[in-house]
Amino acid sequence: MTSKAKKDALLALKTARGQLDGIVRMLENDRYCIDISKQILSAQSLLKKANLKVLRGHIKSCVADAIKKGEAEEKIEEIFGIIDKYTRPV
């Protein structure tokens, strides 16, 4: 993974962790359900963003290296597997 992708993914994950801690406190303090739900959606969005950063870094480093070595097929299949999981409804 590229260092920029790693840095960006870590930032998004740390921000999501902070949001999750806040959501737990909101639940413990009996905050309004809609406000809690909005925060959960926001945390999910950050996790998706982090995942895309990781995948972007993977493609730019691991997949690019595999292509140069003529070993791309396995890496490409891994990406298709992730895309399949990513696009499935929850």
Q: What is the pLDDT of residues 39-75, one digit of tens each?
A: 999 999 999 999 989 998 999 998 999 999 998 899 9
Q: What is the pLDDT of residues 12-22, one digit of tens each?
A: 999 999 999 99
Please give the Cα distance from 14 to 16 (Å, whole number).
5
Name the DSSP class of 29: T
CATH number of domain containing 56: 1.20.58.1000
End-to-end Cα spacing for the chain:
28
Burial class (CB in 10 A: 0-12, 13-18, 19+), 12: buried
Number of separate domains in the chain: 1
Which CA distances in Å does 12 have to 5, 76, 87?
11, 25, 21
- Does the pLDDT at position 34 exceed 90? yes
Note the pLDDT of residue 66: 92
